[in-house]
A and B are shown apart, each in its own frame.
Chain A
Amino acid sequence: MSSRQFTLLCLLPLAIFALAFLALPIVRLILGSGEGERGWGIYLQILQTPRYLSTLGQTVLVSLATTVAALAISTTAALFLVRNRFPGRGALLAILTLPLAFPGVVVGFMIILLGGRQGLVNAVTPGHVVFAYSVFGLFLGYLYFSIPRVLLTVMAAAEKIDPSLEEAARTLGAPGWRIVLDVVLPALAPAMIAAGAIAFATAMGAFGTAFTLATNIDVLPMVIYTEFTLSANIAMASALSVLLGIVTWALLLTARSFSGATVAAGG
């Protein structure tokens, strides 16, 4: 057997698997979205139905809020952890990356423990403070799994910033906030765009967290789920899935072009 034949043989299992369980199912999903009463007009129908439009708007809004908050918190923490060496730093870093392995359902349960009826906030504050099942609870859940992802991406970039740039700025008399604004943030910008795109895409598609918390909130993954299971509206569930898939895929492609990060978009 020649080397070339052997290499092709090595690719064969992957090719068969990807064709049978990735390419063909995706084609089926796209075709399935056009098999409803409206045919391909179903994509127009999404834009004409107030419920789907408000769902899209709400999903984008929560995801955007999550992205902004995660970027602000994680960039601050990343800079602090990269610049300072102190006892307990390793422990903090471990805590901040722990949720990477939590499925979305577990993240949802964490928010219930904080803001549910038997939650911590309700127990320590006077009165009845329950927010786990609201849009705010969903936002906190998304934030919970976004913080570690953004932190790791930004930290990797922050470690590569040349400290002499900041020293030069300091010697020239720039105050601390100018250094952050003119030196640090521009250097971190590609990583922040990549991390932001990852956080946004993950929040858009997060099913597990929404499944635990958002029984009464219309976010895209929950609407897809109910269209499929409760309404048996398979064409609409497929069309919304295709739409969601294209959006998250395009976002993560953008993220990849800004940094080589590979992060699983599970939530």
Chain B
Amino acid sequence: MLKSPGKLIQLAVTLFASAFLLVPTLQSILAGVTANYFQGLSSGLTLKWVVQVWDLYADSIFLSIGLALSCLVCTLAIGVPAAYALARNPGRASRMLEEFISLPLAVPGLALALALLQLYGSMKGFRVHWTFILVGHVLYTLPFMVRSVLSVLAAIDLKTLEEGAASLGAGPARRFVDIVVPNALPGILAGALTVVTLSIGEFNLTWMLHTPLLKTLPVGLADSYASMRLEVASAYTLVFFVMIVPLLMAMQWASARAARVLE
């Protein structure tokens, strides 16, 4: 395999890049379970930092899970029907609408948060309510759900399937539930896992929208990086990894599966 110097350089670059990404991740995992990181592993392994993180930040972890699930419900309710409507009416107007709701992918979260704050910041009840953060998360994740479902629906012959059902007397709502949703399932699953993964990790919007009483997991992470000892910050990051890595893997699996449906 490694017969040429070119190959060796390629391998070296690949390994170097992998090390650059992996080494700090391992450090963080290790620091989170080491009694004293400054002294090193000889100080012994411990779970006391993880326990301390749980005592300090359990609320933020539950808030993030709750937000992610609520966000999933909202993106399903808004995104799946919308993707169906866009797939049924392919055209300029649909393309422009899809482009418009995809703006939150391109415009930095900080700018979107400032826009939301200026319009709704003075509504005190809403500003301090957890649904204000939810709006930000839905805004950011909705395009992923719409696009994921839309790409599957665009690849199947929706019109013929629906005409068949209509000729048997099924109304539009019945066809949506019995024909569209089952056919779109791979796209819905990939979209759902993407939404949950992104919502749990969202920081840029959330930092601006959160209040001291409503801290999500990533907001808590930023907090611990700024004010806690390295072991606690690492243990908290470890908890985050334990949540996000399986989600990421499931998301990649579901996306690959949805892509196979398209072929």
Q: Given A13-B81, A101-B197, A207-B108, A21 and B114 touching (CB < 8 A)? A: no
> Is A34 an interface residue, CB under 8 A from the partner?
no
Q: Given A10-B82, A10-B84, A77-B10, A28 and B139 touching (CB < 8 A)? A: no
Tell me which of A37-45, A46-54, A161-169, A240-248 binds B: A240-248
> Bound state CA distance, A201 and B109, in angstroms?
12
| A103 adjacent to B218 (CB under 8 Å) | yes
| B252 adjacent to A11 (CB under 8 Å) | no
> Is A259 an interface residue, CB under 8 A from the partner?
no
> Is B106 an interface residue, CB under 8 A from the partner?
yes
> Is B14 an interface residue, CB under 8 A from the partner?
yes
| B21 adjacent to A228 (CB under 8 Å) | no
| A84 adjacent to B198 (CB under 8 Å) | no
Q: Given A109-B233, A113-B31, A248-B106, A76 and B10 touching (CB < 8 A)? A: yes
Contact residues on B (Cβ < 8 Å of other chain), bracket: 35 or more
> Bound state CA distance, A134 and B157, in angstroms?
55
Q: Given A103-B203, A109-B237, A111-B24, A6 and B173 touching (CB < 8 A)? A: yes
Considering the complex, give the chain B residue whose CB is closest to the CB of A28.
B119
> Bound state CA distance, A143 and B16, in angstroms?
13
Tell me which of A60-68, A90-98, A185-193 binds B: A90-98
For residue B202, which residues in chain A have a CB less than 8 angstroms away from its CB? 103, 266
Considering the complex, give the chain A residue whose CB is closest to the CB of B94.
A11
For residue B204, which residues in chain A have a CB less than 8 angstroms away from its CB? 103-104, 207-208, 266-267
Considering the complex, give the chain B residue whose CB is closest to the CB of A5.
B172
| A103 adjacent to B221 (CB under 8 Å) | yes
> Bound state CA distance, A12 and B106, in angstroms?
24
B119-150 residues at the A interface, CB under 8 angstroms: 119-120, 135, 138-140, 142-144, 146-147
How many of A's residues come within 8 Å of B, CB to CB? 91
Of B37, B118, B142, B143, which contacts A32 at CB under 8 A? B118
| A2 adjacent to B172 (CB under 8 Å) | yes
| A109 adjacent to B81 (CB under 8 Å) | no
Given A76-B14, A94-B249, 17 more contacts at CB 8 Å? A2-B172, A3-B88, A6-B173, A11-B81, A74-B17, A76-B10, A79-B10, A80-B10, A99-B21, A102-B201, A106-B201, A109-B28, A109-B237, A245-B108, A249-B106, A252-B106, A262-B105
On A, residues with C-beta under 8 Å from B are 1-3, 5-11, 13-14, 17-18, 21-26, 28-29, 32, 73-74, 76-77, 79-81, 84, 86, 92, 94-106, 108-114, 118, 120, 143-144, 147-148, 176-177, 201, 204-208, 211-212, 221, 224-225, 228, 234, 237-238, 241-242, 244-245, 248-249, 251-253, 262-267
On B, residues with C-beta under 8 Å from A are 1, 4, 6-7, 9-11, 13-18, 20-25, 27-28, 31, 37-38, 77-79, 81-82, 84-86, 88-89, 97, 100-112, 114-116, 118-120, 135, 138-140, 142-144, 146-147, 166, 171-173, 176, 197-198, 201-204, 207, 218, 221-222, 225, 230, 233-234, 237, 240, 244-245, 247-249, 251-252
8 contacts between A and B (CB under 8 A): A29-B114, A80-B11, A101-B245, A103-B218, A112-B225, A143-B20, A224-B111, A245-B111
